[in-house]
Structure 1
Amino acid sequence: MRGVIGTYVRVTDALSDYVGYLAASLIFVMGAVLMFDAFTRNVIQMPVHWAIELTQFTLAAYYFMGGAFTLKNNEHVRMDLFYSNLSDKGKARMDLLTIGCLIFYLGVLLSGAIASLEYAIATNEKRFSIWNPSVIPIKALMVACLVLMLMQAVALVFKHIATLRGGPAR
């Protein structure tokens, strides 16, 4: 692939990699917060009320941020009844069909996420708990990550079309 489409695919792949590796590092953040919580609760008998909730938000960010990376590296769950027996062009055709469904699904999800973010901003939505954190940052991250997943899905469409045309997928 050359030109604008090739550049789009390379930039989207690089962005998906960067965000995916950043997401992987969140495991260490979650571990540190949970160890801190265990220490304060069990050793010094002063429980912190925000630790579990912060870990839940971090886990949500981990899932959101890992979506495009997983899609790019073809590591998502696939029902493989006959897919592995297809030729490369047959796989590309099948993937184009399923990516069409994925793009529709992500579009609907993005529409709902944007509406949810707008509501959160308009009402200054907070999670009802002792810590009472704002949900705006996690909802904004969800919208950004859905946009990145849509971008990655479109990049995959270009890659599969290149495969069908007999060219390299990258």
Structure 2
Amino acid sequence: MRKFIRGVDGFNHRLGRIMMYGIFVLMGILLISSINKTFFTPTLWTLEMAQFTMVAYYILGGPYSIQLGSNVRMDLLYGEWSPRKKAVVDLFTVLFLIFYLCVLLYGAIGSTAYSLGYFGTEPISFFGGLITGSEEIGYLETSPSGWRPWLWPIKTIMILGIFLMLLQCISELLKDVLRLKGEAI
């Protein structure tokens, strides 16, 4: 358990520290957009690229936020509880979050398969088929904007981010179990 916690926490910590600088990438894109709109011809790609950057920043930074405990909590009661009672409540509530993330991950996998041209009902087997060579990528979904970028890269980032959040939630669950057993983490 401790090895899993250390591995997940370490990876998400490093990725979160890197993703903190994503806000500067977003600011750069918006600065380019402002300069082009003011002095030159407005560009088509800046608004959508800013949206994609914000999605990556938010979703890949999510596991780090969960790890730091900076997610939104109702501290009205929680702040006064003992560490053991907090662990019991966290253990119970993280199960709902894990269920939600599993449903979200399944939906993200289906949406990504669709963006790669798969229109069937088994998206997970589609990705297995891509690995073994029994499936092929079909017509790639693009954004309906004037720029028309492919959508599979950002959807793949969403799968990765949701999966990492799921791993971080499992790590938090295991930490709560260790706290309830009275062991140091």
Asked if TM exceeds 0.5, the reply is yes
Matched, 1:55 2:53: no
Matched, 1:158 2:174: yes
1:14-50: CA deviations, max 9, x gaps? 111122122211111111111111112212x221110
Following TM superposition, by how much is the alpha carbon of 1:139 offset from its aligned partner in structure 2, in angstroms? Answer: 0.4
Matched, 1:9 2:5: yes
- Aligned residue for 2:134? none
- Aligned residue for 2:126? none
Instruction: Give the SS at the match of 1:81.
Output: helix
Unaligned runs of at least 5 residues, structure 2: 118-138
Following TM superposition, by how much is the alpha carbon of 1:150 offset from its aligned partner in structure 2, in angstroms? Answer: 0.7
- Aligned residue for 1:46? 41
- Aligned residue for 1:72? 67
2:108 and 2:35 map into 1 onto residues whose CA distance is 36
Of residues 99-108 and 45-54 in structure 1, the stretch that sits farther from structure 2 once superposed is: 45-54
| TM-score normalised by structure 2 residue count | 0.86
| TM-score normalised by structure 1 residue count | 0.93
1:80 and 1:16 map into 2 onto residues whose CA distance is 25
2:12 and 2:173 map into 1 onto residues whose CA distance is 15
2:183 and 2:114 map into 1 onto residues whose CA distance is 46
Write out the 4+ residue segments of structure 1 that deviate beyond 4 Å after TM superposition: none
Following TM superposition, by how much is the alpha carbon of 1:52 offset from its aligned partner in structure 2, in angstroms? Answer: 1.0
- Aligned residue for 2:160? 144
Q: Please point out which of 85, 101, 104 is paired with 1:106.
A: 101
In percent, how many aligned pairs have the same letter?
35
2:164 and 2:177 map into 1 onto residues whose CA distance is 20
Of residues 81-90 and 124-133 in structure 1, the stretch that sits farther from structure 2 once superposed is: 81-90
* Equivalent position amino acid for 1:134 in 2: W
2:15 and 2:146 map into 1 onto residues whose CA distance is 31
Q: Please point out which of 99, 108, 127 is paired with 2:143.
A: 127
2:81 and 2:35 map into 1 onto residues whose CA distance is 53
2:42 and 2:114 map into 1 onto residues whose CA distance is 33
2:10 and 2:150 map into 1 onto residues whose CA distance is 31
Instruction: Give the SS at the match of 1:38.
Output: helix
Matched, 1:36 2:52: no
1:115 and 1:142 map into 2 onto residues whose CA distance is 12
- Aligned residue for 1:18? 14
* Equivalent position amino acid for 1:18 in 2: R
1:121-162: CA deviations, max 9, x gaps? 114111011110011011001001111011001111111111
Aligned pairs, how many? 164
1:32 and 1:42 map into 2 onto residues whose CA distance is 15
